[in-house]
Amino acid sequence: LEGLHETLVGGNLDPKEVEKAQKGQTQDFPSGIPQCGTDALRFGLANYTAQARDINLDVNRVVSYRHWCNKLWNALKFAIGHVGEKGRSNLTEAQVPSMSFAEYVGGSAPQPHFRLSSYPFYCRWILSRLHAAVAETNKCMENYEFSGSTQVIYNFWQSEICDVFIEACKGPLAGDDDSVKLAYRITLCICLDVGLRLLHPFMPFVTEELWQRLPKAKGNTCESVMLAEYPQASQTNFMHDGKVEEEMDIVMTAVRTIRAQKMSYGMTNKQKPEVYALSDSSMHRDVIMRQATDICALSAAGSIKSLASPAEVPKGCGVSVVNESLSMYMMLAGMVDPKAELAKLEKKEADRKAALEKKMQAVNRAGYDTSVPDSVKEKNAAEIESITKELAQIAANIRDMRGAMI
């Protein structure tokens, strides 16, 4: 902050104006303006283009994109450990994806090591999501919707490559099945190569540095990602797999539900409860059991079993209803102290009921409808709805805890 103040000194501002400006800086940037870097600022500005000509730039948002650059580096570092880097690849030259995908889409006979139908589930899923990211980015770029492009690319890297695929890679890449390891290595290489090329217009410097470290295909003489072909959906159409994406939606729904349950019961990642998936859909049960190992790994659960009847659910479980076809039961016995957790929940319930009563008194007072601005009414209505939903969840958790004490 002191350095920021110094930029105002020595100019032609009146001392009173300098003092006023310094107070404004202290109010707007109490910790100063951190160094963000060109890539983070460029990406942030592109993301803001959905707004009007004048934007309210949040420096903390730009800082978060700088930290995200570190996430990209960590993803590439993980891949290099298994795929190798330029000049020292663990793949043969024939196994490294070419820039144009000609090796894979240039005819009816793809190379033997890239028969996509034989690839593991997560490889087929991430490649299908890669195609979706390429197609959506192409569409946004053609319509000059740069904010949409940045959001699509960010979600692909953050939510799909880093949060899911790389985590799913770790077990197979440490295994003994060479054909599975090769499939994951090639898939990693494709995703990083195409992902960096998608991102390059918005983060030119970090993508150039990272792209230079990737192994390159035989005959590929492209010296810079800046000169490389920008990914086109027509090249990745063959990767689309709607069935795999539908199954993955079931997997991730189960993972998110288990994570939310653990959080609501105050469990840590070290605690790995038994989970039971109750569903009247044979497809749901089949997908959950086939992907049970990965669901447990992604959600930090001890085990997961698929059930077809409520009578099979053991006593002492908490439940979360996902939808009309799927409910997730979590064994609480031995995982939490029911009495202690019940006391916490009852206190929280009392606090939230008091907050709801206070809010209801405010909206029910005389003259509220005519004297309060619409924006405040909407905010109050949203808060009341949120507290009501929270109380319903607390009540369900209280029932679960009392059931675990029986």
Q: What is the pLDDT of residues 136-157, one digit of tens each?
A: 999 999 999 999 999 999 999 9
pLDDT at site 108: 36
Among candidate residues 43, 44, 71, the one with its CA nearest the CA of residue 205:
43
**120 three-state secondary structure:** coil
- pLDDT category at 323 given cuts 50, 70, 90 is confident
Core vs surface per residue 33-59: b (16+ CB within 10 A) or e: eeebbebbebbbbbbbbeeeeeeeeeb
Q: What is the pLDDT of residues 75-121, one digit of tens each?
A: 999 988 887 655 445 555 445 444 334 343 333 334 444 567 788 99
pLDDT at site 14: 72
Residue with the larger pLDDT of the pair 27 and 354: 354
Distance CA(239)–CA(123), nearest Å, equals 10
Report the chain's mean pLDDT, rounded to a whole number.
82
Note whether 267 and 336 are within 8 A (CB).
Answer: yes
Mean pLDDT of 383-404: 81
Over its C-alpha atoms, the chain yields an Rg (Å, rounded) of 26
Distance CA(132)–CA(274), nearest Å, equals 35
User: Given the DSSP bridges, would you call strands 303-307 and 88-89 parallel, antiparallel or unpaired?
Assistant: unpaired
Q: At what angle do helices 121-142 and 242-264 cross, to 10 degrees?
A: 100
- pLDDT category at 187 given cuts 50, 70, 90 is confident
pLDDT at site 109: 36
Among candidate residues 228, 259, 267, 82, the one with its CA nearest the CA of residue 165:
82
Q: What is the pLDDT of residues 205-220, one digit of tens each?
A: 999 999 988 876 656 6
With vertex at residue 134, the alpha carbon angle to CA 132 and CA 140, rounded to the nearest 5 degrees, is 100
pLDDT at site 99: 35
Q: Is the pLDDT of residue 51 over 70?
A: no
Mean pLDDT comparison of 13-17, 119-123, 198-202, 373-377, highest-scoring range: 198-202
Q: Is the pLDDT of residue 243 over 50?
A: yes
Token pair 């709805």 is found at: 385
Distance CA(8)–CA(325), nearest Å, equals 63
Q: Is the pLDDT of residue 166 over 70?
A: yes
Mean pLDDT of 298-327: 84
Query: Which ranges of 265-373 would DSSP assign to H, the alpha helix?
Result: 282-290, 292-299, 338-364, 368-371
pLDDT at site 66: 92
Mean pLDDT of 211-234: 81
Mean pLDDT of 176-202: 89
